[in-house]
Amino acid sequence: MKPTPHPRTRFAMSILALALGLLGTTQAAPLQLHVDGNKIKDSNNNIVRLQGANIPSLEWHNTGENIVGSQTHLRDVWKANLIRFPLSQDRWFGHAPGQSDGGAAYRAVVDGIVSRASAGNYYVLLDLHWSNKGVWGSNIAQAVMPDMNSVIFWTDCANRYKNNPAVLFDLYNEPHPSTWEVWRNGGTVTESASGITYTSPGMQGLLNAVRATGANNVVVVGGMAYAFDLSGIMNGYALTDTSSGKGIVYASHIYPWKNNLDAKVTVAAASHPILIGECGADTNPEPVGGPVLDTQGVINWSNNHIAWMNSHGYHWTGWAFHKSAGPKMISDFTNYTPTTWGQIAKNQMVTATLPPQTTGLVKVNAGGTATSPFAADSNYNAGAASTPWSGAIVTTGVSNPAPVAVYRSQRAGNMTYTFNGISPGPKVVRLHFCENTYNTVGSRRFNVSINANPKLTNFDIRATAGAINKANVQQFTVYPSSTGVIYITFTGVTGAAIVNGIEIN
């Protein structure tokens, strides 16, 4: 998803001096990351899950648009622990129109990004987004593959930030050559649209260039088909890292028109960490021919996508924390007002930067505080807690009811609850409901799925319970995923979906 390039501006040299000064000072820093099997771990050997967003504009703008404000808000308010910054190799060296300083001001902006991340104890992913098909100052855009000038870029960039614990490198945004051989090892590439031919070093060549500088930072590598398909990684095309390198994370970019996710993405998850480097949805149909979503469609896709990522523990950076680069996560640079997709993504970052691990039994009072033996509401990614109901609740004749207090509180909306660390084998899931608002059958209907398997369709609490303010319990036998996850998704049909309590036994 790439916007039309914006008008260029010059950057004051005083900011250059400030940024270079920050780079040279001693800063706090997050713990160094490394790859261990299919996990990312810090230097204390703790498993880390990276979640955040892309802040674009440095690919099309010589100094970026609202970089400092966006970076600060995304970290401080949305609680992102990874921010991806798309870059341009031409602007890095000052070859774009409007540059006359050899790229010094542009590099100073990136220095500032890195300094802020180091001081704020989080990570940034520097992404080579736009290349030039082998000709400096021309064809500045996404290409089929990186070119030999991309090697020059990575040699300089990696040397500048080598072994900085706050920095990860994303070698090339969305490669899409015709074969896995060219993707890995490079060769001659001819662009079908323009007919331009150039030599590509391949993704292995870019990795080699990074490691040759002595930079052992974790490296991110996007797959085939515009960084979507990872199946070739498991068929002989995985890259080879050096013995001192901190490892490779493979990236996939996922939007509503992408299909067969497990066959194309999860196929590599047992062996490698996976980053969903771009993802998002809005009502603007992109690309041409993609599905046209209404607001409810955006809500459904976003909730399902977050739940799918959570079920696998994937790392992710949503597209895009920018007011005009769609699918947008925000609508302005003043209040950073979340869009529909942005709000769901924000909820996930704020409430579950690292999804809590669950041991033993699960008993959650949805939308409420702790009510023994039910714990306070947790593990949700959306929805809203409602004001507790104070009237009488009927539990007579209800099998396995929760304490009455559980039926007084609720969480409402399109939402997903994700529970990790569930032991293997069959589990009994009980969902507790009580209709405290509508006394007319059909006023509230919604769907419920568990691990993407439909369990309740057009569920009407009032009709099923037979009365308003009467408890209802729905029970299912389910198996956790291979990674020990049970996720429960609620989607409204008429009115908002609600749940009062959740048990896993």
pLDDT interval class at 490 (50, 70, 90) = very high
Residue-wise DSSP of 111-180: HHHHHHHHHHT-EEEEEEEEB-TT-TTSS-B--SS--HHHHHHHHHHHHHHTT-TTEEEE--S----S-H
User: For residues 502 and 416, what is the distance between their CA atoms, to the nearest angstrom?
Assistant: 12
pLDDT interval class at 20 (50, 70, 90) = very low
Query: Residue 117 corresponds to which tokens in the numbers above?
Result: 């991340």
pLDDT, greater one: 485 or 154: 154
Give the pLDDT score at 285.
67
pLDDT, greater one: 90 or 382: 90
5: exposed, middle or buried (Cβ count in 10 Å: 0-12, 13-18, 19+): middle
DSSP 94: T
For a pLDDT cut of 90, what percent of the chain falls above it? 77
pLDDT, greater one: 24 or 179: 179
CB 183, CB 203: distance < 8 Å:
yes
Residues paired with residue 279 on neighbouring β-strands, in sequence order: 254
Q: 436, 454, 442: which is closest to 495 by C-alpha?
A: 442
**Least confident among 16-20, 120-124, 305-309:** 16-20
Give the pLDDT score at 146.
98
For residue range 225-254, what is the model confidence (pLDDT) as tens digits? 999 999 999 999 999 999 999 999 999 999
User: For residues 501 and 401, what is the distance between their CA atoms, to the nearest angstrom?
Assistant: 10
Give the pLDDT score at 286.
64
Q: Which residues contact 446 (CB under 8 A, 6 or more apart)?
A: 456, 458, 459, 490, 491, 492, 493, 494, 495, 496, 497, 498
Backbone Cα Rg of the chain: 24
Domains and CATH numbers, the chain: 33-351 (3.20.20.80), 362-504 (2.60.120)
Give the pLDDT score at 18.
37
Q: Would you say residue 292 has pLDDT above 90?
A: no
CA distances from 348 to 138, 378, 442 (A): 40, 12, 31
Q: 426, 458, 456: which is closest to 441 by C-alpha?
A: 458
SS3 20: helix
For residue range 174-185, what is the model confidence (pLDDT) as tens digits? 999 999 999 999
SS3 10: coil
Give the pLDDT score at 390.
83
For residue range 43-89, what is the model confidence (pLDDT) as tens digits? 988 889 999 999 999 999 999 999 999 999 999 999 999 999 999 99
Residue type, 202: G
Q: Would you say residue 27 has pLDDT above 70?
A: no
For residue range 154-164, what is the model confidence (pLDDT) as tens digits? 999 999 999 99
User: For residues 356 and 66, what is the distance between their CA atoms, to the nearest angstrom?
Assistant: 33
Q: Which residues contact 146 (CB under 8 A, 6 or more apart)?
A: 128, 131, 171, 172, 175, 200, 201, 203, 206
Give the pLDDT score at 299.
92
Q: In 10 A of CB 428, how many CB atoms?
A: 12
**Least confident among 132-141, 419-428, 431-440:** 419-428
For residue range 400-419, what is the model confidence (pLDDT) as tens digits? 999 999 999 999 999 999 88
Q: Which residues contact 40 (CB under 8 A, 6 or more apart)?
A: 33, 34, 47, 48, 49, 50, 218, 247, 249, 273, 315
Give the pLDDT score at 360.
55
pLDDT, greater one: 356 or 87: 87
CA distances from 228 to 277, 285, 347, 490 (A): 10, 19, 25, 28
Q: Would you say residue 100 has pLDDT above 50?
A: yes
Burial 357-372 (b: 16+ CB within 10 A, else e): ebeeebbbbbbbeebe
Chain centroid to Cα 145, Å, comes to 24
pLDDT interval class at 23 (50, 70, 90) = very low
